[in-house]
Structure 1
């Protein structure tokens, strides 16, 4: 019995279309404005935040007042300097600051992590830096893009953020298997492993396993992406279409 090749051709067409879209979208992505002289400073040799109250995110009650010592981009010490409503014990305070900030009456929390983020594009935020600054203004200091935008563009933005050249959170770039390379769709476990190896070389952080509306990624291909990703330190995230979840 000969099976109809109509659905197969349609699936191949849609897969090729999805892989071609990032190249077209790259031209639409606005340039992120370089960090201005008035948009923050640091890192500092020894920054001390004075008199803050900490909420550490574990469910424990707030702690404070405390002085927080940061050297470079690392918190190296959190020193309790008193009790609420009681004068601060000055002889317990760390010294040697190259910069100090008075945080009396303020709360400090760990930065929030946005685990599913997109930026850019006329339909969402034409200026990516609008999204970056919106996140930063709401305490989001790490963003996992699935993706932030076209893969190679997102990797460039990630590098700019890491060098502190733009105002943006720390970024992690996840991409669909097959995105941005020139070896065709990922349609076999072997191709899946090749793409993961290539993605690791260009500094991709993980794979977005995407289920199209006509069906999800084949289980053996999905398994190869995840297995090879573990070998190279890449994460994985799933976005399965409703027509594919039963697989």
Structure 2
């Protein structure tokens, strides 16, 4: 159990306490998450593995304040999400979190550079400054030569690296990644995961990654296993 002191402490960038999520369908209650508690330390890479439908993505959505729990609480960078207005949740998300999904969700009408710059522009950064920071981040993911290309001109692996650059450009305390390699072939998926590990080490940004692949999850510092809405922790381990 994680108490309120540790929840808001500097060592944890993400904390969930006793999360429950259910949906009522007529007279039937469908429970998706059952009393889930976890923490992600500053700079830590945590992988969550489980079968499809086990509740992994639902948990990630709650951690990212994209949905609200039926009960329980979420803390992001020392700030409780409970009771926040949608505007305040959006501000906290934009300030503290980055997101990467199985499908890149890039804007097809914008170049790689402007896709990466978009979160900074939403923050009302000067466009020139935003584009400079976006170019630097694309260089970090190995795409300095693709800044002017549009999503339709990029390979699947390149699109995911642009999405990763977009998630990191705001310098969040944690990136939430939902099956970031799920739409890639094995070789490209391995390269993507190794890039995640390198950026975690270099930037100190924490990562919470949902994946169906135990071999890739083994590269993380710690693995969690989701089984029918419940979470099981394992021993901390060193990335391979």
TM-score (norm 1): 0.30
Relative to its length, the structure with more helix (as a share) is 2
Which of structures 1 and 2 has the larger relative contact order (alpha carbons within 8 angstroms, sep 6+)? 2
